[in-house]
Amino acid sequence: MKQLKKIVILGPESTGKSTLCEALAKYYNTVWCPEYARQFLNENGTKYSYEDLLTIAKGQLSGEDAHVEKASDLLIIDTDMYVMKVWCEYVFNNCHPFILEKINERGYDAYLLCDIDLPWTADEMREYPNEAPRKELFTIYKELLINQKTPWGIVSGTGEQRTQNAIALIEKITKGN
């Protein structure tokens, strides 16, 4: 049985998560699990409810589970239940118990938090173009990661430098595990 390591990429919107996931999957010759929210919003429109976030969370977990068998020894995951928790609380001041349960049940080998050092890029899915919410969300994610047990690091830089910084963090975090 293979020893699969799961690396989660998270952070505020427009911080290069999907681009980084794709680059890391290519580098490690594996697959990456895309953020299900994009698919859901593309299919259902960009206005969403509190209940929609539960549906998105379940879709994210299903996608992750589906990619486990396709992965080599590393699975790169674009967002997880921490992202769903933050979104629920940031937008609706409440979080579904299901999401909190899954945070406690699921195990990951590392988290990479994408820094807000990239310029915000307009996208029909994105809601917070101003710097203040990006900084606030980055701080929320950082505090979540500080207060949990899984190793993590912040990925900064642009383009190939950002990818190389992420690879260095993955190597450092997973070495010897």
Q: Which residue range is the domain that position 53 belongs to? A: 5-169
Q: Is residue 156 part of a domain?
A: yes
Per DSSP, the residues of 30-98 read: --EE--HHHHHHHHH-S---HHHHHHHHHHHHHHHHHHHTT-SSEEEEE--HHHHHHHHHHHHS---HH
Q: What share of the chain is helix, strand, coil (3-state, %, to 5)?
A: 50, 10, 35
Q: Is residue 175 part of a domain?
A: no
| Domain containing residue 47: CATH number | 3.40.50.300
Quote the pLDDT of residue 77.
98
Low-confidence ranges of the chain (pLDDT < 70): 1-2, 122-129, 176-177
Quote the pLDDT of residue 154.
97
> How many folded domains does the chain comprise?
1
Instruction: Tell me if 144 sits within 8 A of 138, measured CB to CB.
Output: no
- The Cα 171–Cα 154 span in angstroms is 14
Please give the angle made by the CA atoms of 147, 20 and 123, to the nearest 5 degrees: 95
19-43 in b/e burial notation, b at 16+ Cβ within 10 A? bbbebbbeebebbbbbbbbeebbee
Q: Is residue 158 part of a domain?
A: yes
Quote the pLDDT of residue 163.
97
Q: Is residue 176 part of a domain?
A: no
Q: Is residue 41 part of a domain?
A: yes
Quote the pLDDT of residue 89.
97
Q: Is residue 74 part of a domain?
A: yes
Quote the pLDDT of residue 1.
47
Instruction: Tell me if 58 sits within 8 A of 35, measured CB to CB.
Output: no
For residue 168, give every residue at least 6 positions away whose Cβ sits within 8 Å of its Cβ, in sequence order, or none.
none
Q: Is residue 22 part of a domain?
A: yes
Quote the pLDDT of residue 129.
65
Q: Is residue 174 part of a domain?
A: no
